[in-house]
Amino acid sequence: MRSYLPAYDMRVPLELDEALETMARAPGEWKPFAGGTDLMVLLEQGKLAHRKFLSVARLKGLYGFALTDDHVTLGAMITYRQVQATAILQQEFPLLCRAAYETGGIATQNRGTLGGNIANASPAADSPPALLVYDAELELVSARGARWVPYAGFHLDYKKLDMRPEEVIRNIRLPRTKKNWRQHYRKVGTRRAQAISKVCFAGAALVDGGEINDVRIALGSVAPTVLRCRKTEALLRGSLTTEMVRAACDELAREIQPIDDFRSTARYRTRVAQKLLAEFLLGLIAPPAGDRA
Amino acid sequence: MQSDSMADRFIGKSIPRKEGRAKVTGRALYVDDMVMPGMLYGATVRSPVARGRIRGIRYAQGIPWDEFTIVTAQDIPGKNCVALMLNDQPCLADQVVNHAEEPVVLLAHPDRYLLEEARRAVELDIEPLPAVFTIDESLARQQVVWGEDNIFKSFLVESGDVESAWGHAHLIVEGEYETGAQEQLYIEPQGMIATFTAEQGLTVWGSMQCPYYVHRALMTLLDLPVNQVRVIQTETGGGFGGKEEYPSMIAGHAALLARKSGKPVKIVYDRMEDMAATTKRHPSRTRHRTAVTREGKLLAMDIEFVVDGGAYATLSPVVLSRGTIHAAGPYFCPNVRIRSQAVATNFPPHGAFRGFGAPQSIFALERQMDQVAKVLGLAPEELRRRNFVKQGETLAVGQVVREKVDMAGLMERALELSDYYAKRKRFAEENPRREVKKGIGLASFLHGAGFTGSGERYLASLVGAEATPEGRVRVLAASTEMGQGTMTVFSQIAAEALGVDYDMIEIVQPDTAVVPNSGPTVASRTCMVVGKLVESAVLGIRQQLLSSGLLPERYTSEQFRQACRQFIENHGALKSSSEYSAPPGVYWDDDKYRGDAYGAYAWAVYVAEVSVDLTTYEIRVDDFVAVQEVGRVINPVLATGQIEGGVAQGIGFALYENVVWQEGQMVNSQMTNYIMPTSADLPPIRVFFEEVPYAHGPGGAKGIGELPIDGPAPAIVNAIENAGGVNVNRIPVTPEVLMEALEGVHA
Amino acid sequence: MPEVRKVAVSFAVNGEPRTVEAYPMARLLDVLRQDLLLTGTKEGCGEGECGACSVLIDGELVNSCLVPVAQAEGSRITTIEGIAGETLHAVQEAFVECGGAQCGICTPGMVLAAVTLVGRQSAQPTEDDIRNGLAGNLCRCTGYMRIFEAVLQACEKSVGAGA
């Protein structure tokens, strides 16, 4: 433990109102702390800059679940394990289940939460690309009230969120519009389990009679934030041709901004991102449930 | 264990691990589980730069420094070195630093959180000097960073006349191969507790492989006589070589703090410190030039083998020696020249890691064999078959193979078990249509058991045995249990030799005040060399009982117990000991660097099957067959576990484990970023033994621990080449490396 | 330096109610090992990667190095010391028999991860279930093969015993 522990404080309120009031009193003084799977690592390494945390992991108000004809609404504190076990998500939002399955080991999946993962804002997080593809919305709540924002655009820059310091994420809402879309998710990590992604791809397309009518492409680990690739998407309309695949791959390389770090190289990330896009697109014209091999 | 009949046999049986229950219930005590009254925690302030001159040490404000025990090089009462081979490595840097993370200042305090604040508040003022980070820079000697020429050690092996052979060659094939540093990554980090009093001297407890190495290092560092230093091994959570030499360093640090503070001091590294500061496998570069005849027979092998030793010699000379001797492999070749060097750089010293130089030189050789086969138009297995050394033939260092050896037979079995021929054919047919290509490859190799060369003769290991009044037999040896099964295997050997119940054997905790020096727990020597001494030591007990007439020729365990009790009543004690002597005819000439390099070799052929995904460049090992001849297998479950674990580390070495350096500092010193295989990354590892009893091993056993890490990397990279047609000659083959190699081919 | 007060945190450990005084962000791992002297829970990495510090909180496997003790208030914690009763748990028995433990440092965490697999599956888990279920527990000694075998054996015995 490289941190000076007596300098770190945590409160564990049980009611959301109480937590929001504490946060409203001096915005930014108390920061929300969910499953801790990332913040505790920073604490261990002596790199946790903020000192006062408000545990949100037990706030009953953050555990909602609602299913309507149009939406699935998940409380922000839903864990990765719960995501995987939720039937409606398995049926209509398989990319999210896959992302949850590929995040850490079982112990991490039992503690890590979807809301925490979003707020932690790692560009390498596994679930956000899926959430972007699904056009997720976030409900942000503070003592002053609640507001819904689209998830796309929520990450302004590296670790910078479009959220006020007195707000927490209460709900994540997924429109039930992608059920009949062809969907594809692939995480390329440093190993098969318990890995941080080097490139993470999520894609979905509405295909009708061989024509692409609508498409979503999102990637992780290739930019300062998880990235919805709208310029690439814009090229993908109508019947898929080899030229279109090539143009989309070229555009993707311009749209992402990968870096060299100790996990991988920018060259590798670019090349694999392109290949994953191509794999997704070629899969659209292949018969469904086709084997990669 | 039931029945008292002499027919009980323990060797060859999968007796459950002796300390197994303590381990599965969490009762086994590791060093960090121990607390002593008034104990302080110790921390190490390390150099942030790779090479430089220490101008000053500043203690920043805001820390109650008067509460701290502070130790620098000036506080060392004896010689400021980690005594081992060349004694060139200081225990605390004085005036100069030669690698990043080199220890400079030690701190101790009862509050571990405040201690961390204090560690950050010590400012080292170091004037940087130019540093050396590659083998080539070191060999070029633009900066001399060690001795007169940056060379820790060099060897020359010559048999026949390589130079005269080139002209007769049908083909000459050249290749260059590189291996990276590898972290041992024992899951229990390094740790020690030390106490010091004027009356009793120094006692240290800790995680280690070699109590007597630590003992000698502490005597030297603190200038204490033999009986004023006591070293006790606690349960050790893995070593793999990483706890061979480094424990002497951390024990020295704990001892200095304990001596100065007068209180017990515990130092346990966290993972980041352990990975960044302690030893790793030597990176290597090997160049091969191989001449073959038209018939596919090896005519000449010219090998240059260089290992990067890091900033201090530590064990580099002997690592180099083992790597050199294994560089020509299990083949017969009339003309061999091996030139090898261990060079200095400004990395933290590289050190012992399972295999000890052999995995590096064997990787190169086994890749080279595949290249030679390719150029000759022969199948890789066929080239090997034509060149395997046979009984009565001579290895490169002049050692005549006296044991029965059947490498061709081992290979056939491995190829059959892996369905090699059919798969090779099928993959060749299917690969053109697949985005995920499949490949299969093999490696054939040998590994010498016990110390290299004259090591065992110099060491002259001792093992003791004594009977208790309850009729139990205690085995006294400094050989440590670190997961590999020392306690269980020694108990089996002793019970077998005595013909008594397994539970009657007790293995005494290694404690230099109690056990004799049976040598370090390294080099695949514990079972074969020390186990043999265990056997003779306990037989000495039996012999005394037989001679005294207290024990009949045939006896039950109960009769044995009674005889012990009676003997001790009559004579006060029943003890025996045994000292190493080389098996007849085994001789190594140190000056000529020729002869019987090892008492015995284990022989093996490994086959790896891989998938290479051309979308992501990820490589997965799908199947792994390990066939080996290791003499008699004493405990099949433990032996299988040793092979499986070694293969897993070998797979990591081949594909995943990449130490990323920046200015001589490991920048991925976390388990999140240094990638070892998880349970989801490994194939079925299928282990098979051929058993040819070795006359001079206990119950016929040879060494086993290091062997399995030699074969996986070359077998896997050979399989990658089979899958994708790309020749990769450096490991680890990360997806990034594979991508660059493939783009080089296809660009 | 700003000093935060220690707080009282109460929970049940292996069925016993316990209260500790600790800094709120102290790692549950340290509280278990240092305050409650339950040293069977090990530290391998301190970053939630190796699983040596695995314990169960309310029956769920977690890395105790990543749990601030304040968040454990009111929970039920099971450590390796609470797994065996009069006799070893079927998983422990199988680890001893099959060679699932070598150096032993990952073993307590591995046993806890395995216990959740054995206890939870109504049917026999496949080897894939086991591989994925244990992927958060790193072992450097065994190559995992003996561990898989131990888990399979424990499952067979548990099913056989009607557990």
The domain segmentation of chain C, as residue ranges, is 7-82, 90-160
Confidence of residue B59 (pLDDT cuts 50, 70, 90): very high
Tell me what pLDDT residue C122 has. 63
> What average pLDDT does the structure give for chain B?
96
Q: Chain C within 8 Å of A55 (Cβ-Cβ)?
A: yes
Q: Give the gap in angstroms from C-alpha C106 to the nearest C-alpha of chain B.
A: 7
The first and second tokens of residue B661, run together, are 């350096």
Query: Is residue B129 scored above 60 in pLDDT?
Result: yes
Architecture category of domain B20-29+461-579 in CATH: 2-Layer Sandwich (3.30)
Confidence of residue A285 (pLDDT cuts 50, 70, 90): confident
pLDDT tens digit sequence for B587-632: 999 999 999 999 999 999 999 999 999 999 999 999 999 999 999 9
Question: Looking at chain B, how many residues does it have?
Answer: 747
Tell me what pLDDT residue C12 has. 98
Residues of A in contact with C24 (CB under 8 A): 8-12
Percent of chain A at pLDDT above 90? Answer: 96
Residue A240 · residue A206 · CB < 8 Å: no
- Mean pLDDT for the stretch of residues A244-249: 98
User: Could you give the ipTM of this predicted complex?
Assistant: 0.97
Q: Chain A within 8 Å of C116 (Cβ-Cβ)?
A: yes
Topology (CATH level 3) of domain A182-285: Enolase-like; domain 1 (3.30.390)
pLDDT tens digit sequence for B334-364: 999 999 999 999 999 999 999 999 999 999 9
- Mean pLDDT for the stretch of residues B369-397: 98
Tell me what pLDDT residue A209 has. 87
Pairing of strands B505-507, B201-206: unpaired
Query: Is residue C58 scored above 90 in pLDDT?
Result: yes
Tell me what pLDDT residue A138 has. 98
Residues of C in contact with A81 (CB under 8 A): 60
DSSP state of B575: E
Residue B130 · residue B693 · CB < 8 Å: no
Tell me what pLDDT residue A290 has. 42
Domain C7-82 has CATH 3.10.20.30: yes
Q: Chain C within 8 Å of A4 (Cβ-Cβ)?
A: yes
Query: Is residue B1 scored above 50 in pLDDT?
Result: no
Q: Give the gap in angstroms from C-alpha C113 to the nearest C-alpha of chain B.
A: 12
Tell me what pLDDT residue B9 has. 84
Residue B32 · residue B82 · CB < 8 Å: no
The domain segmentation of chain A, as residue ranges, is 5-55, 60-175, 182-285
* Residue-wise burial string across A273-288, b where 16 or more C-beta atoms lie within 10 A, e elsewhere: bbbbbbbbbebbeeee
Within a 13 Å sphere around the CA of B465, how many CA atoms are in the beta-carbon half?
34
Q: Chain A within 8 Å of C119 (Cβ-Cβ)?
A: no
pLDDT tens digit sequence for B678-731: 999 999 999 999 999 999 999 999 999 999 999 999 999 999 999 988 999 999
Quick one: which H or E segment has residue B557?
helix B557-571
Query: Is residue C153 scored above 70 in pLDDT?
Result: yes
In angstroms, the CA B401 to CA B406 distance is: 11
* Residue-wise burial string across A84-117, b where 16 or more C-beta atoms lie within 10 A, e elsewhere: bebeebeebbebbbbbbbbbbbbbbbbbbbbbbb
Q: Between chain A and chain C, how many beta carbons pairs sit less than 8 Å apart?
A: 107
Cβ–Cβ below 8 Å for C145 and B485:
no
- Burial class of B83 by CB neighbour count within 10 A (0 to 12, 13 to 18, 19+): buried
The single-letter code of the amino acid at B53 is R
Residue A103 · residue A112 · CB < 8 Å: yes
Residue B701 · residue B633 · CB < 8 Å: yes
Tell me what pLDDT residue C1 has. 60
DSSP state of B283: P
Residue C40 · residue B26 · CB < 8 Å: yes
Distance of CA A64 to the CA centre of its chain: 19
Q: Chain A within 8 Å of B431 (Cβ-Cβ)?
A: no
Q: Give the gap in angstroms from C-alpha B681 to the nearest C-alpha of chain C.
A: 9
Pairing of strands A65-67, A71-75: antiparallel
CATH number of B284-453+591-746: 3.30.365.10
Chain A: residue whose CA lies nearest to C59: A110
pLDDT tens digit sequence for B116-126: 999 999 999 99
CATH number of A60-175: 3.30.465.10
Distance of CA B607 to the CA centre of its chain: 22
Q: Chain A within 8 Å of C27 (Cβ-Cβ)?
A: yes
Architecture category of domain B34-129+185-277 in CATH: Alpha-Beta Complex (3.90)
Q: Chain C within 8 Å of A14 (Cβ-Cβ)?
A: no
The first and second tokens of residue B239, run together, are 């070593």
**In this complex, which of A1, A199, A293 lies closest to B116 when CB atoms are compared?**
A1
Confidence of residue A286 (pLDDT cuts 50, 70, 90): confident
Tell me what pLDDT residue B8 has. 46
CATH number of A5-55: 3.30.43
Angle, helix B380-387 to helix B358-376, in steps of 10 degrees: 110
Tell me what pLDDT residue B745 has. 57
| Among candidate residues B581, B580, B579, B575, the one with its CA nearest the CA of residue B465 | B575
**In this complex, which of A5, A45, A194 lies closest to C25 when CB atoms are compared?**
A5
**In this complex, which of C105, C111, C146 lies closest to B238 when CB atoms are compared?**
C105
Cβ–Cβ below 8 Å for B680 and A46:
no
| Among candidate residues B690, B682, B685, B603, the one with its CA nearest the CA of residue B642 | B685
**In this complex, which of B116, B618, B660 lies closest to A4 when CB atoms are compared?**
B116
- Mean pLDDT for the stretch of residues B377-388: 98
Topology (CATH level 3) of domain C90-160: DNA polymerase; domain 1 (1.10.150)
* Residue-wise burial string across B252-280, b where 16 or more C-beta atoms lie within 10 A, e elsewhere: bbbbbbbbbbebbbbbbbbbbbbbbbbbb
pLDDT tens digit sequence for A88-141: 999 999 999 999 999 999 999 999 999 999 999 999 999 999 999 999 999 999
Chain A: residue whose CA lies nearest to C29: A1
pLDDT tens digit sequence for A222-234: 999 999 999 999 9
Residue A85 · residue A64 · CB < 8 Å: no
Rg of chain B on CA atoms, in Å: 26
Residue B542 contacts by C-beta under 8 Å, 6 or more apart in sequence?
Answer: B497, B498, B551
Tell me what pLDDT residue C127 has. 87
**Helix/strand/coil for B316:** helix
Residues of A in contact with C46 (CB under 8 A): 1, 41, 44
Q: Within chain B, which residue ranges are assigned CATH 3.90.1170.50?
A: 34-129+185-277
The first and second tokens of residue B436, run together, are 């995920």
Q: Is the peptide bond before B48 cis (omega within 30 degrees of 0)?
A: no
Confidence of residue C3 (pLDDT cuts 50, 70, 90): confident
The first and second tokens of residue B272, run together, are 């980041």
pLDDT tens digit sequence for B172-190: 999 999 999 999 999 999 9
The first and second tokens of residue B495, run together, are 């019970």
DSSP state of B526: I
